[in-house]
Amino acid sequence: MTLTRQMMFWMLTLLVAIAVLWMLREILLPFVAGMALAYLLDPLANRMERIGINRMVASLIILGTVVFLFVLLILLFVPILAGQLGAFIEKLPGYVARLQELLMDPNRTWLHKIVGEGVADTQLSELVKQGSGWITTFLKSLWSGGQTLISIFSLVVVTPVVAFYLLYDWNRIVAAVDSWVPLHHRDTVHALARQMDDAIAGFMRGQTAVCLILGSFYAVALTFVGLSFGLLIGLASGVITFIPYVGSMTGLVLATAVAIAQFWPEYTPILTVVGIFLVGQFLEGYVLSPKLVGESVGLHPVWLMFALFAFGYLFGFVGLLIAVPLAAIMGVLARFGLSRYLASPFYTGEPASGPVGFRPPSAREIGPI
């Protein structure tokens, strides 16, 4: 009965938390971003504190440096990216018309043989129209939406303040939460918390570095090739790489479509654009991700994609920020529950033998979830 009540309590707590997040999703962005920033910068503040720097001074130095670099990046790149985004929105109908012209060219007999007579002229053309219309509508709303401007303003102004106070009080907050844990469960909770921290920190810090490196590579390479809006497409492809496979495929399709509309019938620059993304995928899969992210994170790409899409659908951009931490936490708890089930009499058919010093299994022992 006690176990049933505990399960009911935690289920109700989870449902209430989800409901509160959903109702407040419109105002959570700067607070969630500030919490994520404080979490990422906490190890640096701890190091500065260990060498004798006051915690408040260390927090001011770290946040001041981050804000300075952020403002510098805005001053250097935002005018260029804003100009490219506006020009891209204006030229998108022309690119679509060019692609439609190539698809409907009667000389492309191989296309008609692959997809059937009449389909190439109707369905493909209609698909291009619908896709371009959706992209144009989305970009225009992103470009001119008043709510987006308000969110960006609150993100820029409120986030550093929230991050500073959380970074300054981070250790005290952790100690306070730790004091609430029941004493007879504290060792197990500590072990689970360490695994959650390893999974969240390993993925977020590692994948952020991967996104920055790939975004810089794509932007420089596409600009060097001469692709129109190469800087914008390259940086966007790098940012979207945070979603495994989806980001690289989106960048590849978009860059290839622009390359075809711009360079056709020259094959060399088009193949070069495709080659750039293939090289980027090779670097991500065999060099960057193994070195920076590692294999001990325990987040399966399919589970990660589902979490990003599900939380993004429910909570918008805030959902994208909390998707990875929550997915990592669920993965650790799922492995813990599975290990307890495999050690239970229900699975083994043997009497329970109360494990001494139980340690939750790692991602390597059970596998990614």
Question: Do the Cβ atoms of 61 and 48 come closer than 8 Å?
Answer: yes
| pLDDT computed for residue 312 by the predictor | 77
Give a yes or no: residue 103 inside a domain.
Answer: no
| pLDDT computed for residue 61 by the predictor | 92
| pLDDT computed for residue 355 by the predictor | 46
CA within 13 Å, CB half, 337: 8
SS (H, E, C) 77-107: HHHHHHHHHHHHHHHHHHHHHHHHHHHCCCC
Give a yes or no: residue 319 inside a domain.
Answer: yes
Residue numbers in the chain where pLDDT is lower than 70: 1-3, 6, 78, 82, 85, 89, 92-93, 95-154, 244-246, 293-299, 317, 351-369
Counted domains in the chain: 1
| pLDDT computed for residue 47 by the predictor | 92
Give a yes or no: residue 48 inside a domain.
Answer: no
The residue count of the chain comes to: 369
Give a yes or no: residue 115 inside a domain.
Answer: no
| pLDDT computed for residue 124 by the predictor | 47
| pLDDT computed for residue 120 by the predictor | 46
Give a yes or no: residue 231 inside a domain.
Answer: yes
Alpha helices in the chain, H assignment, sequence order: 2-23, 29-50, 55-103, 109-115, 119-144, 146-179, 186-225, 230-240, 246-263, 267-283, 301-315, 317-342, 345-348, 363-366
Give a yes or no: residue 221 inside a domain.
Answer: yes
Question: Do the Cβ atoms of 301 and 284 come closer than 8 Å?
Answer: no
Alpha helices in 292-350, H assignment, sequence order: 301-315, 317-342, 345-348
For residue 318, count other CB atoms closer than 10 A to its CB: 24
Give a yes or no: residue 112 inside a domain.
Answer: no
Q: What residue numbers bound the domain in which 340 lies?
A: 188-345+355-369
Give a yes or no: residue 307 inside a domain.
Answer: yes
**In Å, what is the CA distance from 339 to each residue of 2, 44, 323, 330?**
21, 34, 24, 14
Tens of pLDDT, residue by residue over 303-346, are 777 887 888 777 776 777 778 788 888 888 888 888 888 887 77
